[in-house]
Chain A
Amino acid sequence: MTAPGEAPLLRIEALTKSFGGFVALDNINVDIGKGERFGLIGPNGSGKTTLVNCISGALRPSKGSVLFGGEDITTLPPNQRSHRGIARSFQIPRPFRSMTVIENLMVALDFAASRHLLESASHRRDAAMAVLTRIGLASKADVSTAALTQVELRKMELARAMAIGPKLLISDEAMAGLSTSEVDEVLDLLISLGGEDIAIIMIEHIMQAVMRFSERVMCLDAGRIIAIGSPSEVMGNPRVQEAYLGT
């Protein structure tokens, strides 16, 4: 969480997003601190992915603003946000299918991470390999993304996001469709990635994962924040239980 006096890493102010008459997000206000592990939950259609899209730039909010490191980024395109250190994975993996795993990472290094001064091609390859080793995909570096399993694709997306050198990593249901042991694997990975000044927003339906991962949890329902606080507080909140289980 943010220390007093210090500007938050990400500040979302009065953010509203509507599609025609449908209000997907309604007046969302939240701060996310440097290095914070933040869980985002809510039933299907509650606006989690819409919020992520507004943060990463895939969607423009109808009202309100998004501030990153004190700078207003509400109208910036996604590529400029990634240059500033916002990285994301997708709910359904979106690899660059005509490329190998390491080439996927090279895109990030070529475009987003130029500030790291990775000038020569061999430096960039080393940097990409370092990220892959950390994620545990080094052995698949030269494999085509078409040949990856689901869990490897998820890891590849995280690796590609990490290659940007992010300050904020948004993981959009990176564990959906994985087996229990694979969920633990990805969760351990996410926990290990956070901490070093990388804040992580994790969207997840698997509650054990959210409880273990998050320092703070926010629950959305029908585009509004219905609870925010420590994992146990939010889970104990009757409105959250109602949203998930119905009355």
Chain B
Amino acid sequence: MQKSSIAFWCGAAVFLIVVLVLTQTIRNEYPFFAGYVILQFVVLAVAWSILGGYAGYVNFGTNAFFGVGVYTAVLLIKAFEAPLGVQIAVAAVIGSLLGFGVGLLTLRMRGIFFSIATIALAIIIETSVTNWRFVGGAAGIQLQRPPVMAPFDTYVKMLFFVQALLVVVAVATTRTIQNSRIGRGLQALRDDELAAECTGVPTLRLKLLACVISGALISAGGAPAAMYLQFANPESAFNLNYSVSVLAMSLIGGTAHWIGPVLGAVLLGATQQLLAVTISSEVNVLVLGIMLVVFVVGAPKGLIGLLRRAPSRIGDRK
């Protein structure tokens, strides 16, 4: 194993241990309640950047994948009382199938047309779920949490740890893609699809792969939200704010390196949580918009772009 890989996995292990220790030592539940949302956004932003960042296909349907994750969990809970792990795994499978479908769209559509098609997809799925009585329809559905598992004393703390695990899975996957020839192939096809094809890059296969992985991770990241809120309705599960936030987080962080979306999600996610407590949750969207404008004008390559200009080049670390 390379030095950088050892450092990465050590970092991931330390991260998970710290998370575990925090859940065992802090009694107040609120930090975990707020932190869960931030971790969730890290998963979504990192997963989004596989397709939106490396491949340059701007997916505006993050909410479709997220909602599919939530409702896969709802369906499994309602029908089989399936445990959390199963909910997440099945959500990932359904998300990857949906990703495959979106990947086929890339055959015919690029740029803004692809983005619009993904919005349309989200609306189609939301409308279907709204009219599906079994999972609660438009009114939504209340869910009962099962007893929490040891060593956690509350369900939210357990969900916080589970989401931290998903963060590690998402980041490790993205990092592997970035450092492999798949990453270079995606970058090539983002720059010029025909030139990439003629240089030997199997563009369709790579785009499908990126869509499948990205979709699986977003849906997996969305699945625990059902139990987190103990409630699900189509309007919130398929909220377009997920798409906008995730896009903003990735762009603000920068998409050239996996650390970009992580930084963006932590920064924006934390700001949003802070604003929701101190002012109101409505201000979130405003702040999001302002930050996006500031970054697009001032730092088009995101935080990564700013850091790379600094003496210690973060891009050199893999």
Question: Which residues of A come within 8 Å of B, CB atoms?
Answer: 56-58, 77-80, 82-83, 87-88, 90, 94-99, 103, 106-108, 110-113, 160-161, 164
Query: Known contacts A108-B200, A111-B200; is A78 also within 8 Å of B194 by CB?
Result: yes
Could you tell me the distance between the alpha carbons of A106 and B199 in the complex, rounded to whole angstroms? 10
> B255 CB to closest chain A CB, in angstroms?
11
Could you tell me the distance between the alpha carbons of A160 and B197 in the complex, rounded to whole angstroms? 13
Contact B181 A98 (CB under 8 A): no
Q: Is the interface of B mostly helix, strand, loop or mixed?
A: helix
Can you offer 18 A-B residue contacts whose CB atoms are under 8 A?
A57-B198, A58-B194, A58-B197, A79-B202, A80-B202, A82-B197, A83-B200, A94-B195, A95-B192, A96-B187, A96-B188, A96-B191, A96-B195, A97-B192, A107-B200, A108-B199, A111-B181, A161-B199
CB contacts (< 8 Å) of B190 on chain A: these are 98
CB contacts (< 8 Å) of A90 on chain B: these are 195
Contact A98 B191 (CB under 8 A): yes
| Highest count of chain B CB atoms <10 Å: which of A95, A99, A111 | A111
Contact A107 B194 (CB under 8 A): no
Contact B198 A78 (CB under 8 A): yes
Could you tell me the distance between the alpha carbons of A78 and B192 in the complex, rounded to whole angstroms? 14
> A132 CB to closest chain B CB, in angstroms?
15
CB contacts (< 8 Å) of B78 on chain A: these are none
Could you tell me the distance between the alpha carbons of A151 and B258 in the complex, rounded to whole angstroms? 35
Question: Which residues of B come within 8 Å of A, CB atoms?
Answer: 181, 184-185, 187-188, 190-192, 194-204
Excluding A103-B184, A111-B199, 4 further A-B contacts by CB distance (< 8 Å) are: A79-B198, A79-B203, A83-B200, A99-B188
Could you tell me the distance between the alpha carbons of A160 and B191 in the complex, rounded to whole angstroms? 15
Contact A110 B191 (CB under 8 A): no
Could you tell me the distance between the alpha carbons of A98 and B195 in the complex, rounded to whole angstroms? 13
CB contacts (< 8 Å) of A111 on chain B: these are 181, 185, 199-202
Q: Which residue from chain B places its CB closest to the CB of A107 in the assembled complex?
A: B188
Contact B187 A56 (CB under 8 A): no
CB contacts (< 8 Å) of A161 on chain B: these are 199
Contact B199 A77 (CB under 8 A): no
CB contacts (< 8 Å) of B181 on chain A: these are 110-111
Contact B184 A77 (CB under 8 A): no
Contact A99 B191 (CB under 8 A): yes
Could you tell me the distance between the alpha carbons of A95 and B190 in the complex, rounded to whole angstroms? 11
Could you tell me the distance between the alpha carbons of A95 and B188 in the complex, rounded to whole angstroms? 9
Q: Out of A58, A98, A113, which one reaches B200, CB within 8 Å?
A: A113
Contact A107 B184 (CB under 8 A): yes
Could you tell me the distance between the alpha carbons of A82 and B193 in the complex, rounded to whole angstroms? 14
CB contacts (< 8 Å) of A98 on chain B: these are 187, 190-191
Could you tell me the distance between the alpha carbons of A129 and B231 in the complex, rounded to whole angstroms? 59
Contact B191 A56 (CB under 8 A): no
Q: Which residue from chain A places its CB closest to the CB of B191 in the assembled complex?
A: A96
**8 tightest A-B CB contacts, nearest first:** A112-B200, A111-B200, A110-B181, A94-B195, A96-B191, A78-B197, A82-B200, A107-B188
Could you tell me the distance between the alpha carbons of A113 and B194 in the complex, rounded to whole angstroms? 18
Could you tell me the distance between the alpha carbons of A136 and B178 in the complex, rounded to whole angstroms? 30
Contact B199 A112 (CB under 8 A): yes
Could you tell me the distance between the alpha carbons of A111 and B187 in the complex, rounded to whole angstroms? 13
